[in-house]
Amino acid sequence: MNENKRKIRSQWSTLKFLLQKEFLQIFRDKTILKMIIALPVVQLLILPWAATFEQRNISLSVVDNDHSTFSRKLTEKITSSGYFRLADYSVSYSQALTAVERNDADLILEIPYRFEDDLIREQSAGIMISVNAVNGQKAGLGSAYLSQIINDFNQEIIPPDVQSGRQNRINVVPYYRYNTQMNYRNYMVPGILVMLVTLIGGVPAALNIVKEKETGTIEQINVTPIPKAIFILGKLIPFWMMGLLILTIGLIVAFIVYGLVPAGRLFNIYIFAFFYLLTFSGIGLLISTYSETQQQAMFVAFFFLIIFFLLSGLFTPISSMPHYAQAITRFNPVRYFVEVMRLVFMKGSGFSDIMPQLLHVIGFAVFFNGWAVWNYKKTS
Amino acid sequence: MPSVTINNISKAYSSIRALDHISFDVGKREIFGLIGPDGAGKTTLFRILTTLLLPDDGTASVEGLDTVKQYREIRNIVGYMPGRFSLYQDLTVEENLNFFANVFNTSMQENYDLIKDIYIQIEPFKKRKTGRLSGGMKQKLALCCALIHKPSVLFLDEPTTGVDPVSRKEFWEMLKRLKQQNISILVSTPYMDEAMLCDKIALIQSGKILSIDTPENIIAGYPQKIYAVKGENNYRLLEYLRKNPDVQSCYIFGEYLHVTLNNEFDFRFPDKVEVNPTKASIEDCFIRLMDHRPERVSD
């Protein structure tokens, strides 16, 4: 009994000395320190504004064959909506088309000759919209916005008596739950926080262990009585702490800059983040057992991070991905954290709501750490 | 009981035989030198003895502890200085020493007398980062770190490679002093002059031991006369002598050629050549052993 107690105490003090050494090295590395502060601030200040789902500044080329009051009013309404930028007035459709080819215009609006006359006399007139669909999202949203504006315009010019008399219209007023103002930043910021935690939780841990291999210091460590498990713990604990620190800084920046406060409990975010960090330090550890140099480790880490981020639902909704891609996202830990962040931040979900995601991530943590430990034992 | 016992150890890396049935003992309070060229298998042997590598065949023990089964105990009692500098370059001299003392559950103060002589020389730089030390100082620090837990056996893998002659000399003097502190030392070196400073040496090449004895005995066992020969053009002289059937071997040795003869009485060196009989050195012994290896003949 006493023997066991002494053993545990000596391992505990070994871990303490290892941590002391790690922190000494981390704080001596000015680049890492700067990154810890700069990464969350810069990413949260820039990315939410840049990574937007809204389409603004769609370039529009107008071919006005009518030159009437109505045609001018319509063009004005469109350009004042804020979504469109008038690229040019073209004389003909073919000229507008060359503007599209030059990439000066994304959309062509052709107003036919006698547009106003037809509207007044026959109560109807046609308009043609041609869309450059190279950028599918821009094309889809652009034509949708444009149709909506034209629709509005239509309502305005129908004489009042006709409007009330002839038609039974259904008036749709949507209420946007959880994000009443449809502010995409509420949606992006929690996701970017995930990216930050992932970057700090996974990559440096992998690099740190490989560095010991590269510089040969691991040789010196291996001939000491330090148990392997304690050595690895000594490597991972600092990065778990840094991950949680980054998360905290990020939450503070989100509050100060965007006024974002999670609707749910912060505690749930931290609990989830802890297991998520376990997963990513496990992945980092795994990479480190397969790499001989920091360069190799960096490349492999990069490869996986890019796939993880693009297939996480952070930038593009998972539900609109093809089935095979959706299937892949099930094996992506980032996806679950993004989901949880948005659930807790926007919906205010409780602990039981994030349980499925939490179980997934715990599963990943066990899987990756198990694999890493197995491979670590095999190679040494 | 010897400090280190090596019994029929073999190790191969894919197709290369790094160690081929090696056996020898290192006695208590002995400086045992492992002398051999690069790639002879010295580092592999060190890694097996320090429990970093498993042998394919054979057994080894350090202070009676088996390197495979009792590796944990061994790690508490050996000090290892790898061939490549492997301390934390971003930590200071002091921090490195404290760290390695701490992980052995000891402190710098506890064993200070053991490292005092060496540490005094690097103490003025104790706040300096290890990466910015000179080669000789790095070696001294590495030795301090290997000694800080008062090991009973010290393994030094080419500790003086890349170190200036003065530091090399100092280093060997330190080893002599450590011997008095009841520490057994196994040290490898590619420098033949350092072999003379060991109590016992093993000449090793291509994973095989060529000879084991005290340096004096190895030299005394050299069976032939050696002539140191010097001509105006040593290279042409070398070619000439090698072609002669009476010449057994001829090789460059500093500014001289060392020549041994098959038939001492008939041979006449060419004129205008300085010829002096000379004593064999460890290097001569090593070269002779390398040339007389049975495998070489069958190749």
Residue A164 has pLDDT above 60, yes or no: no
Q: What integer pLDDT is reported at residue B298 of this predicted model?
A: 36
| Tokens 């000494």, located at residue | A24
Q: What integer pLDDT is reported at residue B186 of this predicted model?
A: 95
pTM over 0.80: no
How far is CA B76 from each of CA B54, B88, B92, B193, B286, rounded to the nearest angstrom? 18, 20, 24, 32, 35
Closest CA in chain A for residue B151: A224
Q: In this structure, what token pair is assigned to residue B103?
A: 């992980």
Q: Who contacts A18 (Cβ-Cβ below 8 Å, separation ≥6)?
A: A226, A230, A231, A233, A234, A235, B103
Q: Is residue B288 within 8 Å of residue B218, measured between CB atoms? A: no
Residue A67 has pLDDT above 90, yes or no: no
C-alpha A168/C-alpha B45 separation (Å) is: 94
Residue B34 shares a structural domain with residue B130 = yes
Residue B178 shares a structural domain with residue B95 = yes
The distance from CA A319 to its chain's CA centroid, rounded to whole angstroms, is 15
Q: What integer pLDDT is reported at residue B6 of this predicted model?
A: 93
How far is CA B43 from each of CA A211, A344, A379, B83, B220, rounded to the nearest angstrom? 22, 57, 19, 8, 29
Closest CA in chain B for residue A227: B72
Mean pLDDT of B224-246: 86
Q: What integer pLDDT is reported at residue B155 of this predicted model?
A: 95
In angstroms, what separates the C-alpha of B191 from chain A's closest C-alpha? 24
Report helix, strand or coil for B185. strand
Closest CA in chain A for residue B48: A223
Domain termination residue (choose one: B175, B195, B219):
B219
Q: What integer pLDDT is reported at residue A363 of this predicted model?
A: 95
Q: What integer pLDDT is reported at residue B297 of this predicted model?
A: 37
Residue A137 has pLDDT above 70, yes or no: yes
Contacts of B83 in chain A (CB under 8 A): none
C-alpha B299/C-alpha B292 separation (Å) is: 12
Per residue in B26-75, pLDDT (tens digit) is: 999 999 999 988 888 899 999 999 998 899 999 999 999 999 999 889 99
Q: In this structure, what token pair is assigned to residue B26?
A: 């290192």
Q: Is residue B174 within 8 Å of residue B136, measured between CB atoms? A: no
| Residue A217 to residue B80, Cβ atoms within 8 A | no
Residue A37 has pLDDT above 50, yes or no: yes
In angstroms, what separates the C-alpha of A234 from chain B's closest C-alpha? 12
Closest CA in chain B for residue A19: B99
Give contacts of A 21-80 with B, CB under 8 A.
21, 24-25, 28-29
- For chain A, the structural domain boundaries read 2-51+184-379, 58-166
Considering the four listed CATH numbers 3.40.50.300, 3.40.50.620, 3.40.1710.10, 3.65.10.10, the one that applies to the domain covering A58-166 is: 3.40.1710.10
Mean pLDDT of A154-167: 61
Q: What integer pLDDT is reported at residue A380 of this predicted model?
A: 53
Looking at the domain assignment, is residue B135 inside a domain?
yes
Residue B96 shares a structural domain with residue B173 = yes
Give contacts of A 208-237 with B, CB under 8 A.
215-226
Residue A378 has pLDDT above 80, yes or no: no
Mean pLDDT of A10-22: 89
Residue B122 shares a structural domain with residue B19 = yes
In angstroms, what separates the C-alpha of B103 from chain A's closest C-alpha? 6
Q: pLDDT-based confidence at A275, cuts 50/70/90?
A: very high
Residue B12 shares a structural domain with residue B157 = yes
What percent of chain A lies above the pLDDT cut of 90? 22
Average pLDDT, chain A: 84
Could you give the residue ranges of the DSSP H alpha helices within B1-111?
42-49, 71-77, 93-103
Looking at the domain assignment, is residue B249 inside a domain?
yes
Mean pLDDT of B68-83: 91
The larger pLDDT score, comparing residue A248 to residue A38, is at A248
Q: Is residue B263 within 8 Å of residue B299, measured between CB atoms? A: no
Looking at the domain assignment, is residue B293 inside a domain?
no
Quick count: other Cβ atoms within 10 Å of Cβ B23? 14
C-alpha B25/C-alpha B6 separation (Å) is: 6
Q: Who contacts B145 (Cβ-Cβ below 8 Å, separation ≥6)?
A: A220, B81, B87, B96, B97, B100
H helix or E strand, kind and range, residue A79 = helix A69-79
The larger pLDDT score, comparing residue A150 to residue B48, is at B48
Q: pLDDT-based confidence at A313, cuts 50/70/90?
A: confident
H helix or E strand, kind and range, residue B17 = strand B16-26
Residue A160 has pLDDT above 60, yes or no: no
Residue B252 shares a structural domain with residue B115 = no
Per residue in B242-265, pLDDT (tens digit) is: 888 888 888 888 888 898 888 777
Average pLDDT, chain B: 88
Q: pLDDT-based confidence at A315, cuts 50/70/90?
A: confident
Per residue in A281-302, pLDDT (tens digit) is: 889 989 988 998 999 999 999 9
Q: Is residue A315 within 8 Å of residue A51, measured between CB atoms? A: yes
For chains A and B, count residue pairs whose Cβ atoms are closer than 8 Å.
63
Residue B146 shares a structural domain with residue B171 = yes
* ∠ CA A170-A175-A181, rounded to 5°: 130
Q: What integer pLDDT is reported at residue A172 of this predicted model?
A: 65
C-alpha B226/C-alpha A128 separation (Å) is: 106
Q: pLDDT-based confidence at B188, cuts 50/70/90?
A: very high
What percent of chain A lies above the pLDDT cut of 70? 91
C-alpha B223/C-alpha B24 separation (Å) is: 24
Closest CA in chain A for residue B70: A225
Q: Who contacts B250 (Cβ-Cβ below 8 Å, separation ≥6)?
A: B238, B241, B242, B257, B258, B259, B260
Residue B11 shares a structural domain with residue B149 = yes
Locate the DSSP E strands across B194-265.
Answer: 200-205, 208-213, 226-230, 247-253, 256-261
* ∠ CA A190-A47-A193, rounded to 5°: 25
Most confident of A24-28, A73-77, B145-149, B291-295: B145-149
Contacts of B85 in chain A (CB under 8 A): 216
Residues spanned by the domain of B272:
223-279
Give chain B's domain count. 2
Phi (first) and psi of residue B281, to 5 degrees: -115, 175
Mean pLDDT of B121-147: 91
Q: What integer pLDDT is reported at residue A379 of this predicted model?
A: 58
Domain termination residue (choose one: B192, B219, B246):
B219
| Residue A225 to residue B75, Cβ atoms within 8 A | yes
Looking at the domain assignment, is residue B289 inside a domain?
no
Per residue in A361-376, pLDDT (tens digit) is: 999 999 998 898 888 7
C-alpha A72/C-alpha A79 separation (Å) is: 11
Q: In this structure, what token pair is assigned to residue A362?
A: 């715990």
Residue B191 shares a structural domain with residue B213 = yes
Amino acid symbol at B285: C
CATH of the domain at B242: 3.30.70
What percent of chain B lies above the pLDDT cut of 90? 41
Residue A169 has pLDDT above 80, yes or no: no
Per residue in A214-240, pLDDT (tens digit) is: 988 988 998 898 888 888 889 889 889
Q: In this structure, what token pair is assigned to residue B76?
A: 């508490």
Per residue in A176-218, pLDDT (tens digit) is: 676 665 667 778 888 888 998 898 877 888 888 899 989 889 8
Q: Is residue B42 within 8 Å of residue B157, measured between CB atoms? A: yes
Per residue in A85-130, pLDDT (tens digit) is: 888 888 888 888 888 888 888 888 888 888 888 888 877 778 888 8
Residue B38 shares a structural domain with residue B145 = yes
| Tokens 């959706």, located at residue | A326
Residue A154 has pLDDT above 60, yes or no: yes
Contacts of B78 in chain A (CB under 8 A): 223
CATH of the domain at B82: 3.40.50.300
| Residue A28 to residue B80, Cβ atoms within 8 A | no
In angstroms, what separates the C-alpha of B51 from chain A's closest C-alpha? 7
Strand-by-strand arrangement of the A128-131 sheet: A84-90, A58-64, A107-111, A128-131
The distance from CA A354 to its chain's CA centroid, rounded to whole angstroms, is 19
How far is CA A147 from each of CA A79, A128, A328, B240, rounded to the nearest angstrom? 13, 10, 36, 100
Residue B27 shares a structural domain with residue B125 = yes
Residue B252 shares a structural domain with residue B236 = yes
